Amino acid sequence: MPLANKHIVAIDDTHSILNFLRISLESLDARFSAAATASGGLALCESDRPDLIVLDLGLPDKEGLDILPRLKRIDKVDSIPIIVLTVRNSTEDRDMAAKLGASAYITKPFVMDDLIEEIHRQLKLDSQAYLRLVSPVRV
């Protein structure tokens, strides 16, 4: 499967989004973990290094932008790709996220296929394998 053995962590305080991500990513054989707070997300990522992080900016205990640099430094050897997934669509937020090390920036509402394609791009995986799984069957 396309995301087999890839550990993806989502840090978002919207439970419906976490559930949507969990169902979608686990169906592609990804190992999925989630946290609803910045502190919980940091602890989770530090205890079990992910291959990729999906980060919301508006978290109840801290701004996502505040923890982004720390998330980037979790692995001393290799930087972890971080996809910001947020309702914020300002140029300032986009620029600040990029400056702090975000690998991609996607605004909510979002299309899951677009997010999955970006995950494949960030993990340097063939997204065509995923697209073949969701292509309609021709009769």
pLDDT value at 133 more than 80:
no
The tokens describing 137, both together, are: 């069957």
Count up the domains in the chain and report the number.
1
Q: Average pLDDT for residues 88-98, to the nearest whole number? A: 97
**Which CATH number covers residue 30?**
3.40.50.2300
pLDDT value at 57 more than 80:
yes
pTM: 0.90
**What is the domain extent for residue 100?**
7-134
Q: Average pLDDT for residues 120-132, to the nearest whole number? A: 75
| In-domain check, residue 139 | no
| In-domain check, residue 2 | no
What residues pair up with 104 in beta bridges, in sequence order?
Answer: 83
What is the spatial distance between Cα 113 and Cα 92, in angstroms, rounded to a whole number? 26
Confidence of residue 138 (pLDDT cuts 50, 70, 90): low
pLDDT given for residue 116 in this prediction: 96
pLDDT tens per residue across span 8-51: 999 999 999 999 999 999 999 999 999 999 999 999 999 999 99
Of 16, 6, 9, the closest CA to residue 38 belongs to 9
Compute the mean pLDDT over every residue in the chain, rounded to the nearest whole number.
91
H helix and E strand count, the chain: 6, 5
| In-domain check, residue 44 | yes
What is the spatial distance between Cα 128 and Cα 113, in angstroms, rounded to a whole number? 12
**73 Cβ partners below 8 Å, 6+ apart?**
none
What residues pair up with 115 in beta bridges, in sequence order?
Answer: none
